[in-house]
């Protein structure tokens, strides 16, 4: 992580420590949150799920310590300040919310973080087969046959999703056969036009950050149920609101209210568990009655456990990967596309950037475009030099909005797959066969004193801030019951 943020979360500090990035970092800990001290609960990870769990446990009267590997809180919420503005940011991680996301919106209200509507006025851009067209509303001007295919795909998904129990998708009728199919195979079986197959794949990448061939159809149906039963929610209304000043503030404000119970720059490298649990970091060992682990599954899999985790869980951790997303924000003096009657939104069947939105702050100044390289469309760029990534992204923006879009005043991107403590985006997903092969084991069951949270463990709004908060509440309630 390139950027070092001042540790606003900190109240009192224990000694200077070496941060995860190798840069000297001050731990954010209250007196007493020292190596060797003992707690009721230690939480690994100061993202939204971990911080939510910490608050619930504190309210339940329990002593809590949060160990965070990075030198900042927020995890996959990460905002970059735009200089010369009154606190405007470019979000490089999570950013949108929408109707039905009751927990994250309530949290924002409680913490005094206001929301504003995503800018969506004017015509959007559809780029297909080398041709750029603009269109009003939310339905791209694909061929009538492709639009009919897309309508069939969505209706089919929504109808199948209704048969899937959201808390136990592996028990659905015919679950095995559904789970063995990839979403890509489903798209191809329903759509007769190449154009519809391509658009469906762009939409799926927008949800998972991964290609349709990689994702189990049963996983998608469960996700549809988890957001209220309509596939369109995943790519539509779930993106209708943004947070003034960015969603990272939610974590920073939650962190500040924990009054020094967070230690930054403390990557947990070993977990010794039995009746109690001891978490080892490069600076020491911390013991508790229970631990809640919130990192993404592949990151948990890279921690050493003593004794080893049960084989079924270890195997599962090897099979639930993160998607591959590069998120880009290009900043301009003004949102010049608005003056041309454009909303800033793009759907393109040509990569590497296939989805773009207006990401300007509420004032509209500066203008910001956000774009995504996802799954196979972005994979070749994961290991290319930053300059090649930037050139490819800006070439896409210029293709959609003209030469001016290729000359931003500032450019920010983030390769989430290269983030050691995240390892991809947007979240974990189940490849074909995993949900039904592992069944109940996929449901984040506690193991001895170890509990699991994180957006990917939430049946409702999995992969969203909403899911992260819900998972933190669930894990904390589990712990309170068990103590």
Ligand X SMILES: Cc1cc2nc3c(=O)[nH]c(=O)nc-3n(C[C@H](O)[C@H](O)[C@H](O)COP(=O)(O)OP(=O)(O)OC[C@H]3O[C@@H](n4cnc5c(N)ncnc54)[C@H](O)[C@@H]3O)c2cc1C
Cβ atoms 291, 279 nearer than 8 A: yes
CA dihedral 350, 355, 356, 362 (to 10 degrees): 170
| Residue 391 CB, nearest approach to ligand X (Å) | 21
- Can you read off the two tokens belonging to residue 314? 């270890």
| Residue 236 CB, nearest approach to ligand X (Å) | 12
Give me the residues that bind ligand X (CB under 6 A), please.
44-50, 67-70, 75-77, 93-97, 267-268, 294-296, 299, 303, 325, 327, 416, 421-422, 425-427, 454-455, 463-466, 468
Based on CB atoms, which residue is closest to ligand X, 77 or 354?
Answer: 77
Based on CB atoms, which residue is closest to ligand X, 109 or 407?
Answer: 109
| Residue 244 CB, nearest approach to ligand X (Å) | 15
Based on CB atoms, which residue is closest to ligand X, 201 or 327?
Answer: 327
Based on CB atoms, which residue is closest to ligand X, 26 or 327?
Answer: 327
Compute how many other C-beta atoms are within 10 angstroms of the C-beta atom of residue 102: 14
Q: How far, in Å, CA of 169 to CA of 143, rounded?
A: 35
Placement of tokens 């006025």 in the chain: 121
Based on CB atoms, which residue is closest to ligand X, 425 or 450?
Answer: 425
Please, which residues have CB within 8 angstroms of residue 204's CB and are 6 or more apart in sequence? 183, 184, 187, 210, 211, 212, 215, 220
User: Among candidates 356, 364, 102, 117, which has minimal Cα distance to 242?
Assistant: 117
Based on CB atoms, which residue is closest to ligand X, 283 or 427?
Answer: 427
| Residue 47 CB, nearest approach to ligand X (Å) | 2
| Residue 237 CB, nearest approach to ligand X (Å) | 12
For the chain, helix (H) and strand (E) counts, in that order, are 16, 22
Based on CB atoms, which residue is closest to ligand X, 75 or 366?
Answer: 75
| Residue 294 CB, nearest approach to ligand X (Å) | 5
| Residue 424 CB, nearest approach to ligand X (Å) | 8
User: Among candidates 350, 307, 312, 353, which has minimal Cα distance to 330?
Assistant: 353
| Residue 466 CB, nearest approach to ligand X (Å) | 6
| Residue 267 CB, nearest approach to ligand X (Å) | 4
Please, which residues have CB within 8 angstroms of residue 378's CB and are 6 or more apart in sequence? 324, 325, 326, 351, 352, 372
* DSSP SS3 for 388: helix
| Residue 350 CB, nearest approach to ligand X (Å) | 21
Cα→Cα distances 38→12, 206, 295, 325, 370, Å: 18, 43, 22, 38, 44
Based on CB atoms, which residue is closest to ligand X, 128 or 263?
Answer: 263
Based on CB atoms, which residue is closest to ligand X, 97 or 142?
Answer: 97
Cβ atoms 395, 328 nearer than 8 A: no
* DSSP SS3 for 321: coil
Cα→Cα distances 18→23, 30, 137, Å: 6, 17, 51
Q: How far, in Å, CA of 154 to CA of 203, rounded?
A: 11
Please, which residues have CB within 8 angstroms of residue 475's CB and are 6 or more apart in sequence? 49, 53, 292, 294, 444, 451, 452, 453, 457
Based on CB atoms, which residue is closest to ligand X, 118 or 348?
Answer: 118
């Amino acid at each position: 992580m390139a950027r070092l943020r001042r540790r606003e979360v900190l109240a009192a500090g224990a000694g200077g420590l070496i941060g995860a990035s190798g840069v000297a970092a001050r731990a954010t800990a209250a007196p007493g949150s020292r190596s060797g001290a003992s707690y009721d609960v230690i939480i690994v990870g100061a993202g939204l799920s971990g911080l939510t769990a910490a608050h619930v446990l504190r309210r339940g009267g329990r002593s809590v310590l949060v160990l965070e590997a990075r030198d900042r809180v927020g995890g996959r919420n990460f905002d970059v300040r735009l200089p010369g503005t009154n606190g405007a940011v470019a979000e490089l991680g999570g950013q949108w919310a929408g109707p039905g996301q009751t927990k994250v919106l309530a949290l924002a209200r409680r913490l005094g973080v206001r929301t504003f509507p995503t800018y969506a006025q004017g015509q959007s851009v559809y780029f297909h087969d080398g041709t750029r067209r603009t269109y009003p509303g939310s339905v791209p001007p694909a061929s009538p046959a492709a639009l009919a295919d897309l309508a069939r795909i969505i209706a089919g998904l929504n109808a199948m999703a209704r048969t899937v129990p959201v808390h136990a998708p592996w028990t659905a009728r015919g679950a095995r056969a559904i789970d063995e199919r990839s979403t890509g195979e489903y798209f191809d079986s329903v759509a007769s036009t190449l154009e519809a197959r391509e658009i469906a794949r762009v939409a799926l990448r927008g949800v998972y950050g991964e290609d349709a061939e990689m994702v189990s159809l049963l996983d998608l149906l469960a996700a549809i149920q988890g957001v209220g039963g309509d596939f369109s929610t995943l790519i539509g209304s779930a993106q209708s609101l943004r947070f003034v000043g960015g969603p990272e503030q939610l974590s920073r404000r939650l962190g500040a209210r924990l009054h020094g119970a967070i230690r930054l720059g403390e990557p947990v490298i070993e977990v010794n568990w039995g009746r109690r649990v001891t978490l080892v970091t490069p600076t020491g060992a911390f013991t508790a009655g229970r631990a809640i682990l919130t990192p993404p599954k592949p990151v948990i899999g890279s921690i050493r456990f003593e004794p080893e985790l049960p084989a079924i869980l270890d195997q599962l951790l090897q099979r639930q990967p993160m998607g591959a997303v590069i998120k880009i924000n290009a900043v301009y003096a003004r949102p010049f596309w608005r003056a041309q009657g454009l909303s800033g939104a793009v759907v393109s069947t040509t990569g590497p950037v296939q989805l773009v939105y207006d990401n300007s702050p509420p004032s509209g100044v500066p203008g910001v475009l956000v774009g995504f390289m996802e799954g196979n469309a972005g994979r070749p760029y994961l290991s290319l030099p930053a300059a090649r990534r930037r050139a490819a992204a800006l070439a896409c923006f210029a293709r959609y909005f003209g030469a001016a879009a290729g000359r931003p005043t500032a450019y920010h991107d983030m390769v989430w797959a290269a983030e050691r403590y995240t390892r991809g985006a947007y979240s974990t997903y189940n490849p074909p066969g995993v949900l039904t092969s592992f069944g109940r084991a996929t449901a984040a069951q506690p193991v001895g004193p170890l509990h699991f949270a994180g957006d990917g463990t939430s049946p409702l709004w999995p992969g969203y801030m909403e899911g992260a908060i819900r998972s933190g509440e669930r894990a904390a309630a589990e712990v309170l019951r068990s103590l």
